[in-house]
Chains A and B, each alone.
Chain A
Amino acid sequence: MGRYLTSTNRIRAIQLEILSPAMATATATANLPRRRLSQGTRHTINGLLFASPWIFGLLVFWIYPTLASAYYSFTKYNGVRNPTFTGLANYIELFTKDEEFLAAVYNTVYFAVVSIPLAIIFAFGLAMMLNAKIRGQVVYRTIYFLPTLVPEVALALVWIFIFTPHNGLIAAPFRAFGSRGPCWLTCAEWARPTLVLLALWIIGQQIILYLAGLQDVPQDLYDAADVDGANFLSKFRNVTVPILTPVVFFHLITSVIGALNFFAIPYIMTGGTGFPANSTLFYSIYLYKNAFHYLEMGYASAMAWLLFMFTLVVTLVIFRSARLWVFYAGGED
């Protein structure tokens, strides 16, 4: 029925929902009876009204910028003059001429491939140990969570300080053996592994996730395994791991996205220079520099879209693979 309402009536109907019930009844009896609106229409109007901030936000802060950046990626654009269309030039230049771009891709992929499996193993392992009925679980959990609370700026700066070669705290154990120790963040061959190591410090959230998952594992599964005489290893393989695969799945997806966006910490540490020898030049840093230092907004947009496509493909592959290894307790389907 609502379909036949004129637009003014529609607005009136919307007002009716917002105004106080007393007033609504008053207006309704005087003018347009509210019963004329079917339940479904009323729900649609209310639903849209309540969602309207986000519908607006989606359009203005997400959909428009996404489309705009797709367009900019085919242009030369400094953000001031009108963009000039250059076709695929940006993309071609990225892949054929830009060595810094290739370095950034390499560094980012290296970081993702090395740090994500390590993060999964460490977070899972620590959560397993925390889940054993031991004293001080809450204290440990708090401590492991601590680095994720320190603002990135403070964390990055204290890391620079600790990882100062020869003088920093990290050099102390090496000096005890008369060695100078690695060069950490100051040489190309050590900078990448050092950043992987540093990223392992901030896995507190994941530890909590795994811990929550472990606490959800029904005890009777373990009891049943005990009756069958299963040892620790087979309980781990056949009960714990399958039940936690959804958490691993979630961790994998979020950390892929996180690793591809890795920005603040290396940017603060090097001022975005990629020092030494572009070994800390990550994709997001190079993109940011193109956009805001060189004012190559079109070029940076092409990089952003490539990143988007890559993220999409990787997450799709992970989602696709989920049916092979992610176990949902609710059963198949």
Chain B
Amino acid sequence: MVADSQPANTQFAQDHARRVMAKRIRGIFRSILIHASLIPAAFVFTLPFLWMLSTSLKPDVQFYAYPPVVIPSPFQWSNYPDAVKFITFFLYLRNTLTIAVLATIGVLISSSLVAYSLARIPWRGRNFLFILTVATLMLPFQVTMIPLFLVFKNLGWVNSWLPLIVPHWFGGALYIFLLRQFFMTIPMELSEAARIDGANELKIYYSIILPLSKPALATVAIFEFIARWRDYIGPLIYLSDQEQYTLSLGIYEYQTQYGAEWGLLMAASVLITLPIIMLFFFLQKTFVQGIALTGIKG
């Protein structure tokens, strides 16, 4: 190269090489440092689940062993069939699934209709309705809890699934907000063109907006399903008959007057956690986008 004959340039090239080298070393050093703090954090974050899993496979004598038994030996697989038999697990599973699925369907239909109204139809009063919607997000649930309970009691709905399902058929504020933000990103020209072609709003909603919003709808569906699957206070308030219990109430039955059946309890906990974790693994992108959508684009 020409540079070879010019000492100044050689100097420059050497300097440059050294700088690149230093930068690379610094980069490696930095990533080691980052991993060194991320890995212990990861360990701490997985600990509850790992310990749940490990305990679910332990025989009784190893629960409080010292030093702690991390990998049980032998694996007591029988904890799982025993856990399912100890309480009426499948009944509670059926109850939980029924409530979660029906509430999810309801919230999807109603929230998307309302969000369509707020985002795609220019009518007077929609801004006011939107502000009211956001305001309900600030309202602590304890404020409405007591009168709602009394309303459902007077309807004769207490101790049935209805209070846990029916309200969701009238829309959820957070989902309306989320879907509205998403619907607003779809170009208005699509609706206007369809209107000129004579399509009514229901048709635009159904055949244009919904198909274009599948990611947002999926987010709503997953969030609501998981919220209902995990719900604790709803069933606690409204369900008193054991026949109606969801898994989050039924799981208490492992605590008997003789103490907790920790092995069975942890096996059942693994069983009710696993479906959600699997959902998350397969639909990670939807989750992450959904969380970002509720949080930032406000």
Using a CB–CB cutoff of 8 Å, the interface residues on chain A facing chain B are 17-18, 21, 24, 40, 43-44, 46-51, 53-58, 60-62, 64-66, 68-69, 72, 79, 126, 129-130, 132, 134-135, 138, 140-147, 149-155, 157-159, 161-162, 164, 167-169, 172, 175, 201, 204-205, 208-209, 212-213, 216, 246-247, 250-251, 257, 260-261, 263-264, 267-268, 284, 287-288, 291-292, 297, 300-301, 303-305, 307-308, 311-312, 315
Q: Taking the complex as formed, is B29 at the interface, i.e. its CB lies under 8 A from any CB of chain A? A: no
Assembled-state Cα–Cα distance A159/B48 (Å): 7
DSSP class of A's interface residues: helix, strand, loop or mixed?
helix
Please give, as numbers and ranges, the residues of chain B lying within 8 Å of A292 by CB-CB distance: 149, 237
Contact A50:B113 (CB < 8 A) given known A21-B199, A147-B48, A154-B272: yes
Contact A72:B64 (CB < 8 A) given known A151-B272, A208-B292, A216-B296: no
Contact of A146 among B45, B199, B266 (CB under 8 A): B45
Q: Tell whether, in the assembled complex, residue B144 and residue A62 are in contact, meaning their CB atoms are under 8 Å apart.
A: yes
Assembled-state Cα–Cα distance A216/B295 (Å): 13
Q: Tell whether, in the assembled complex, residue A158 and residue B51 are in contact, meaning their CB atoms are under 8 Å apart.
A: yes
8 of the cross-chain contacts (CB-CB < 8 Å) are: A40-B123, A48-B125, A151-B232, A151-B276, A172-B66, A201-B44, A216-B296, A291-B149
* Per-position binary interface string of chain B over residues 255-276, scored 1 when its CB falls under 8 Å from any chain A CB and 0 otherwise: 0000010100110010011001
Q: How far is the CB of B275 from chain A (nearest CB, A)?
A: 10
Q: Tell whether, in the assembled complex, residue B144 and residue A54 are in contact, meaning their CB atoms are under 8 Å apart.
A: no
Q: Tell whether, in the assembled complex, residue A57 and residue B170 are in contact, meaning their CB atoms are under 8 Å apart.
A: yes
Assembled-state Cα–Cα distance A312/B277 (Å): 35
Assembled-state Cα–Cα distance A142/B44 (Å): 13
Please give, as numbers and ranges, the residues of chain A lying within 8 Å of B139 by CB-CB distance: 62, 66, 308
Contact A72:B146 (CB < 8 A) given known A150-B48, A208-B291: yes
Contact A154:B52 (CB < 8 A) given known A54-B171, A149-B226: yes
Q: Tell whether, in the assembled complex, residue A209 and residue B291 are in contact, meaning their CB atoms are under 8 Å apart.
A: yes
Interface size on B, residues (CB 8 A): 94
Assembled-state Cα–Cα distance A24/B167 (Å): 33
Please give, as numbers and ranges, the residues of chain B lying within 8 Å of A79 by CB-CB distance: 146, 149-150, 153
Please give, as numbers and ranges, the residues of chain B lying within 8 Å of A138 by CB-CB distance: 284
Q: Taking the complex as formed, is B143 at the interface, i.e. its CB lies under 8 A from any CB of chain A? A: yes
- The closest CB in chain A to the CB of B169 belongs to A53
Contact of B232 among A66, A204, A257, A268 (CB under 8 A): A268
Q: Taking the complex as formed, is B22 at the interface, i.e. its CB lies under 8 A from any CB of chain A? A: no
Q: How far is the CB of A145 from chain B (nearest CB, A)?
A: 7
Please give, as numbers and ranges, the residues of chain A lying within 8 Å of B220 by CB-CB distance: none
For the complex of A and B, 6 pairs with smallest distance between CB atoms:
A57-B170, A47-B123, A50-B117, A154-B269, A65-B144, A65-B147
Q: How far is the CB of B196 from chain A (nearest CB, A)?
A: 12
Please give, as numbers and ranges, the residues of chain A lying within 8 Å of B64 by CB-CB distance: 164, 167-168
Please give, as numbers and ranges, the residues of chain A lying within 8 Å of B170 by CB-CB distance: 53-54, 56-57, 60-61
Q: Tell whether, in the assembled complex, residue B48 and residue A69 are in contact, meaning their CB atoms are under 8 Å apart.
A: no
Please give, as numbers and ranges, the residues of chain A lying within 8 Å of B144 by CB-CB distance: 61-62, 65-66, 69
Please give, as numbers and ranges, the residues of chain A lying within 8 Å of B30 by CB-CB distance: 132
Q: Which of A44, A48, A49, A61 has the most chain B CB atoms closer than 10 A to its own CB?
A: A61
Q: How far is the CB of B197 from chain A (nearest CB, A)?
A: 10
Q: Taking the complex as formed, is B288 at the interface, i.e. its CB lies under 8 A from any CB of chain A? A: yes
Q: Taking the complex as formed, is B211 at the interface, i.e. its CB lies under 8 A from any CB of chain A? A: no
Contact A50:B296 (CB < 8 A) given known A134-B34, A150-B49, A208-B288: no
Q: Tell whether, in the assembled complex, residue A284 and residue B273 are in contact, meaning their CB atoms are under 8 Å apart.
A: no
Interface residues of B in 15-65 (CB under 8 A from A): 30-31, 34-35, 37-38, 41-42, 44-49, 51-52, 55, 64
- The closest CB in chain B to the CB of A272 belongs to B236
Q: Which of B121, B205, B273 has the most chain A CB atoms closer than 10 A to its own CB?
A: B121
Q: Tell whether, in the assembled complex, residue B110 and residue A57 are in contact, meaning their CB atoms are under 8 Å apart.
A: yes
Q: Tell whether, in the assembled complex, residue B41 and residue A144 are in contact, meaning their CB atoms are under 8 Å apart.
A: yes
Assembled-state Cα–Cα distance A178/B198 (Å): 81
- The closest CB in chain B to the CB of A61 belongs to B167
Contact A146:B292 (CB < 8 A) given known A154-B272, A169-B51: no
Q: Tell whether, in the assembled complex, residue A307 and residue B142 are in contact, meaning their CB atoms are under 8 Å apart.
A: yes
* Per-position binary interface string of chain B over residues 73-102, scored 1 when its CB falls under 8 Å from any chain A CB and 0 otherwise: 000000000000000000000000000000
Q: How far is the CB of B286 from chain A (nearest CB, A)?
A: 12
